[in-house]
A and B are shown apart, each in its own frame.
Chain A
């Protein structure tokens, strides 16, 4: 086993009573010093994984290893991980300094060390001079930073972040995305970040785990996941996409929307039914004659950076197009795309039976 691995899940299942499992036979490894994101809709089990790592809950089945040591049965206060909670969970009866010092005081460090470490941690999150503030005097973004300082002051090997940005407004959230990423690079420790926001996940992560119904649908770099979604769920969840049923005629040739197209995917059975994905920004508007596909514009929406066109082809498939060019509602237009823009997915494809090498 390679010693870069810091967290390992072995066939971990978590089930409450007779309900369907929240986490269903999940196995994975995480390496030290990377920024991981667990991404999925609510109820997919992402927070469960976090709570299992933190030690707030125990797995029903399976083993969790930390640095190669079995963690089952080790209580949360004995684990080398710290958590930033969704509601920050700052202690309202303590001021900023004491909140950050909490973990150090538990460890009975001497006064001077505590003072130095707390100040350092607060400097790390740009909160110098706020030591004596009460928690209720701090804004949402500042509380967020206090929560991060309180966690990193204990020098954990892994920092768990449970949707920490969800309570912030859009502008602050984008700022914090940069800051968190920067913080992770400076600290060099593993971050495990839980979110349901795919943009957040794409912007920050070294690697994304896409979860659905207690299973990992796909793991990979943001680019992999965005460009090569493994199935309909991932394609749908990550970004906006056109998912059209089609048929793989042969290697490098696929049929959809009643036409035959050249593509770069291969390794499928002849005539295998597939789903094809084309991202809205990969579609270009041209004239009817020059386009590979002929569609009619149904509606148009100005989105700031681009126009969002909703079009229908002759077979009734819906096509979402992001373009800086404007078209008129009802206009017949052509859509052009490169063969590389077509991504072919096997129906109900999971990681195990993945085909279609590119």
Chain B
């Protein structure tokens, strides 16, 4: 046992401790009855009750989930077709150019994306609110979906398409009966990624929300600025648990896709 605990392991443990301690600290005090974050008085679920009693907050939670589901679903559809377009681009330069444009959107800072959307929506005249948030969430999720789906397409043997056509399938059959089933794990992975990105996005949303519409992350930010209430801790804890669930779901989907790719990717 002693031999196994090397410096590298120790380093890993320390890093993870540093990363996770604040979150667990926050979760820990969400059960504190004293109302502060430095002295633990006794266990209580009052803060959670407060969260569930706050109808404004519940509406915002609902908003957030609706935005996340809609934007993830729509961006998954757009992203899959985008990935197909990149995959079928005939010329290599065009393919690379499209892929680079896609990746730039992923690495560019949220603040810039948020600000530019704000400018765009004001110029075009779209009212800030549900629509503007939804549109911007779709926009930053599409590149993520493309990036999740494209590798599945590339690992698919092109003879699968030939085989389907050989057996009488037209283009629509090829798409629905061969390509889409094959890349399904990638599509699910893309959907879940888009979902988590939308759920926890703050910067972009902050720019494009208007009066009367808010998402959870923006709401938590504004409440935290007004003064510390442990109901924020309770809310954050719930959010954290929800994200963890998503990550675990994502993990199982990639596991499954790895197993099936052991067959499909064979030459």
Q: Do A and B come from one complex?
A: yes
**Residues on A close to B: CB < 8 A?**
54-56, 75-78, 81-83, 85-87, 89-94, 102-103, 106-107, 134-136, 150-151, 154
- Does the CB pair A150–B167 fall under 8 Å? yes
- Does the CB pair A93–B181 fall under 8 Å? yes
Q: Whole-angstrom distance between the alpha carbons of A75 and B171 in the complex?
A: 11
Whether B182 is near chain A, meaning CB under 8 Å from some CB there, is: yes
- Does the CB pair A89–B162 fall under 8 Å? yes
| B95 cross-chain contacts in A, Cβ below 8 A | none
* 17 further contact pairs, Cβ within 8 A, besides A85-B159, A90-B163: A75-B165, A76-B162, A77-B166, A83-B166, A87-B267, A91-B160, A91-B163, A91-B164, A91-B181, A93-B181, A93-B184, A94-B181, A106-B167, A106-B177, A134-B263, A150-B167, A151-B166
| A102 cross-chain contacts in B, Cβ below 8 A | 164, 167, 169, 177
Q: Which residue from B163, B169, B262 sits with its C-beta under 8 Å from A89? A: B163
Nearest CB of chain A from residue B254's CB, rounded to whole Å: 16
| A135 cross-chain contacts in B, Cβ below 8 A | 263
Nearest CB of chain A from residue B13's CB, rounded to whole Å: 38
Nearest CB of chain B from residue A137's CB, rounded to whole Å: 9
Residue of A nearest to B163 (CB): A89
Residue of A nearest to B158 (CB): A89
Residue of B nearest to A56 (CB): B162
Q: Whole-angstrom distance between the alpha carbons of A150 and B163 in the complex?
A: 10
- Residue pairs across A and B with Cβ atoms less than 8 A apart, 9 shown, are A54-B166, A76-B165, A77-B168, A81-B166, A83-B166, A89-B162, A90-B163, A92-B264, A102-B169
- Does the CB pair B168–A103 fall under 8 Å? yes
| B178 cross-chain contacts in A, Cβ below 8 A | 91
Would you list which residues of chain B between 127 and 153 have a CB under 8 Å from chain A? Answer: none
| B181 cross-chain contacts in A, Cβ below 8 A | 91, 93-94
CB-CB under 8 A for A92 and B182, given A56-B165, A135-B263: yes
Would you list which residues of chain B between 250 and 266 have a CB under 8 Å from chain A? Answer: 260, 262-264, 266
- Does the CB pair A87–B167 fall under 8 Å? no
Whether B170 is near chain A, meaning CB under 8 Å from some CB there, is: yes
CB-CB under 8 A for A106 and B182, given A89-B159, A136-B262: no
CB-CB under 8 A for A85 and B182, given A106-B168, A154-B167: no
Q: Which residue from A76, A87, A134 sits with its C-beta under 8 Å from B157? A: A87
Q: Whole-angstrom distance between the alpha carbons of A94 and B169 in the complex?
A: 15
Whether B54 is near chain A, meaning CB under 8 Å from some CB there, is: no
Q: Whole-angstrom distance between the alpha carbons of A76 and B170 in the complex?
A: 9
Whether B173 is near chain A, meaning CB under 8 Å from some CB there, is: yes
Residue of A nearest to B174 (CB): A77
8 closest Cβ pairs, A-B complex = A136-B263, A103-B167, A92-B264, A89-B163, A89-B159, A76-B165, A93-B181, A92-B263
Render B104-138 as a binary contact track against A, CB cut-off 8 A, 1 for contact: 00000000000000000000000000000000000
| A90 cross-chain contacts in B, Cβ below 8 A | 163
- Does the CB pair B164–A83 fall under 8 Å? no
Interface-central residue, B160, B163, B169, by most chain A CB under 10 Å: B163
Would you list which residues of chain B between 214 and 267 have a CB under 8 Å from chain A? Answer: 260, 262-264, 266-267
Q: Whole-angstrom distance between the alpha carbons of A103 and B169 in the complex?
A: 7
| B159 cross-chain contacts in A, Cβ below 8 A | 85-87, 89
CB-CB under 8 A for A83 and B163, given A77-B170, A92-B182: yes
| A82 cross-chain contacts in B, Cβ below 8 A | 166-167
Residue of B nearest to A90 (CB): B163
Q: Whole-angstrom distance between the alpha carbons of A94 and B160 in the complex?
A: 12
| B165 cross-chain contacts in A, Cβ below 8 A | 55-56, 75-77
Q: Which residue from A54, A56, A91, A107 sits with its C-beta under 8 Å from B168? A: A107
Q: Whole-angstrom distance between the alpha carbons of A154 and B157 in the complex?
A: 23
| A77 cross-chain contacts in B, Cβ below 8 A | 165-170
Render B174-211 as a binary contact track against A, CB cut-off 8 A, 1 for contact: 00011001101000000000000000000000000000
Nearest CB of chain B from residue A318's CB, rounded to whole Å: 38
Q: Whole-angstrom distance between the alpha carbons of A92 and B170 in the complex?
A: 19
Nearest CB of chain A from residue B186's CB, rounded to whole Å: 13
Residue of B nearest to A76 (CB): B165
